[in-house]
Amino acid sequence: MAAGKGSRLKSQLPKVLHEVGGKSLLAHVIAAATRVVPPQDVFAIIGHEAGRVRSAVAHTGVNFVLQSEQRGTGHAIMVAQPALAAYDHVIVLSGDAPQITPQTIAQLLNFHLDQQAAMTLLSADLDHPTGYGRVLRKNPRSAGVQAIVEEKSATSTQKQIHEINAGFYVFAVPQLFSHIKKLSTANPHAEYYLTDMAQVLRQARQPVVVRKTENSAEVLGANTRAELSFIDYQIRMRKCEQLMSEGVTIFYPVTCVIDNDVEIAPDTVIEPFVQILGNSRIGAACRIRSYSVIRDSEIGDGVLIRNGCVLEGARVERNAVLGPYSHLRPGSDIGEGAHVGNFVETKKIKLGKGSKANHLTYLGDAEIGAGVNIGAGTITCNYDGAQKHTTIIEDGVFIGSDSTLVAPVRVGKGAYVAAASCITEDVPEDALAIGRSRQITKESWAREKRAARKP
Ligand code: UD1
Ligand code: CA
């Protein structure tokens, strides 16, 4: 169920597309579902901003059911009837509860089949149950359920119940659809509540049972910004704990933001206030200093990333040193042992083994060989206003400070470029290129000027 608007989030973005742990709520739930059944048997019920939701998760291969008017969770399942008719049982998941695990879903299904139930619901004991539906058991020791009562309809005694309805169910399909028409909208939200099926089925003498999960965190729904941020925190803390158990040092983990799919090898040290996002992979024995943000990048072993670096879509080979304050944009490929220093921006470049660009430089669309020294303030002029051009700098080249290399241009192996040169023509191997006007020195000029100014 992913059709709701999520009014409580006060957002333009549909609720299920809000992100926790670096992924949308719905993407988390679909990931869990597709580890229990194949994607072709998963149906996402979409409605509010359906097009946007569909395109966000279409790559998962699941099917979609359109609930064009959102008249409650019961109505969502009514709309899905044609899609579900061919199945014996249906697992119903809430698209806004992202921590659900495949194990719990599978256990719920097995329990349902064992019990030969018409409806099985997942419950949890919460310290703060406010807002959730409460489970009314027939008696405290049996799994039989009498009803689920929603917060708004609960009596003050019922509000004392800590066992909540998690919003995950298994139904026997024939029983579900032969009774679903009995749902009504006679409730404070004027909606069809799927939760009312518990009472409907019980009154039809169909078995309704509950299974409680021990891990109450996994059922939390993200209905408000505060809940969203708390769930995000829980997911990220679990990720840090997993990484630490695998040999990664994370100082002050509450300040670090590490997405779920990130991989980090042992003995790497992550300092406070670091973000590692998307599909990043970090090698062993690296050190990532504070305030660096790394997205979709691959970092080899033994790399030092000093403070404040920003990497996106970059590859950095072993023992390279970056920063402080380097900006590696997509397509940056930094070779083994290379150095990229302060205020250096790179884009779509290869920087060869052991090469250095340590200060105040822009390197874009460049192929730079091994053992090259790029002086402070060097700029590759890669853009002519219409097209991008490539700069080639071969092995062992020395580029003097404050040089501009107007692409397309090639500097041959072992060549020198004098400081402050503007290089517009290829430089042959082992040559020296000086692309600046000669210095003029006027002896005594300053003294004479001062003397002339005196009254
Ligand atoms: C629901 C349950 C409540 C339970 C809680 C657990 C009902 C009536 N109540 O409340 O007992 O404790 O979940 O998190 O079901 N949706 C649709 N179509 C609709 C309405 C909702 O697809 O017409 C989707 C929403 O996008 C959401 C999910 O169903 O992903 C649950 O809806 P929501 O409004 O969040 O229900 P809760 O008030 O949280
Ligand atoms: Ca909810």
79 within 8 A of 65, measured Cβ to Cβ: yes
- Helices (H) and strands (E) counted in the chain, each on its own, are 9, 36
Q: Three-state DSSP class for 232?
A: helix
The fraction of the chain above a pLDDT of 90, given in percent, is 99
Give kind and range of the element (H or E) at residue 147: strand 145-149
Residue 261 confidence (pLDDT) = 92
Euclidean distance between CA atoms 3 and 69, whole angstroms:
9
Residue 86 confidence (pLDDT) = 95
Give the tens place of pLDDT for each residue, 365-413.
999 999 999 999 999 999 999 999 999 999 999 999 999 999 999 999 9
Residue 17 confidence (pLDDT) = 98
Give the tens place of pLDDT for each residue, 437-449.
999 999 999 999 9
* 359 part of the active site: yes
Pair of tokens at residue 6: 């999520």
The fraction of the chain above a pLDDT of 70, given in percent, is 100
0.85 cut: is pTM over it? yes
Give the tens place of pLDDT for each residue, 154-167.
999 999 999 999 99
Which of 48, 128, 327, 359 is catalytic? The answer is 359
Give the tens place of pLDDT for each residue, 10-53.
999 999 999 999 999 999 999 999 999 999 999 999 999 999 99
CA 61 to ligand 1 center in whole angstroms: 24
CA 96 to ligand 2 center in whole angstroms: 6
Q: Which among 77, 94, 104 is the best mutation to test ligand 1's pocket, defined by most ligand atoms within 8 Å of the CB? A: 94
Q: Which among 68, 73, 195 is the best mutation to test ligand 1's pocket, defined by most ligand atoms within 8 Å of the CB? A: 73
CA 95 to ligand 1 center in whole angstroms: 8
Closest residue by CA, ligand 1 atom 31: 94
Euclidean distance between CA atoms 405 and 420, whole angstroms:
10
Residues with CB under 5 A from ligand 2 (ion): 96, 221, 223
CA 15 to ligand 2 center in whole angstroms: 9
Closest residue by CA, ligand 1 atom 19: 72
Q: What is the average pLDDT value for the chain, to the nearest integer?
A: 97
Q: Identify which ligand lies nearest to the alpha carbon of 196.
A: 1
Number of the ligand 1 atom closest to the C-alpha atom of 96: 30
Which residues lie with the beta carbon below 6 Å from any ligand 1 atom? Answer: 1-4, 15-16, 45, 47, 67, 70-73, 75-76, 94-97, 132-133, 148, 150, 164-167, 193-195, 221, 223
Number of the ligand 1 atom closest to the C-alpha atom of 75: 23
Closest residue by CA, ligand 1 atom 13: 167
Residue 344 confidence (pLDDT) = 98
Question: Does residue 428 have a cis bond before it (omega within 30 degrees)?
Answer: no
CA 279 to ligand 2 center in whole angstroms: 29
Q: Is the pLDDT of residue 455 over 90?
A: no
Number of the ligand 1 atom closest to the C-alpha atom of 223: 35
CA 97 to ligand 1 center in whole angstroms: 10
What band does 352 get if pLDDT is binned at 50, 70 and 90?
A: very high
Residue 172 confidence (pLDDT) = 98
Cβ partners under 8 Å of residue 121, min gap 6: 135, 145, 148, 165, 166, 168, 169, 198, 208, 209, 210, 211
Q: Identify which ligand lies nearest to the alpha carbon of 183.
A: 1
Q: Is the pLDDT of residue 349 over 90?
A: yes
Q: Is the pLDDT of residue 454 over 90?
A: no
Give the tens place of pLDDT for each residue, 221-270.
999 999 999 999 999 999 999 999 999 999 999 999 999 999 999 999 99
Dump the DSSP string for 404-419: EEESSEEE-TT-EE-T
Give the tens place of pLDDT for each residue, 77-98.
999 999 999 999 999 999 999 9
Give kind and range of the element (H or E) at residue 341: strand 339-351
Number of the ligand 1 atom closest to the C-alpha atom of 46: 22
Number of Cβ atoms within 10 Å of the Cβ of 13:
15
Q: Is the pLDDT of residue 100 over 90?
A: yes
CA 169 to ligand 1 center in whole angstroms: 12
DSSP state of 205: T
Give the tens place of pLDDT for each residue, 129-150.
999 999 999 998 999 999 999 9
Helix 102-115 to helix 25-33 angle (10° resolution) is: 50
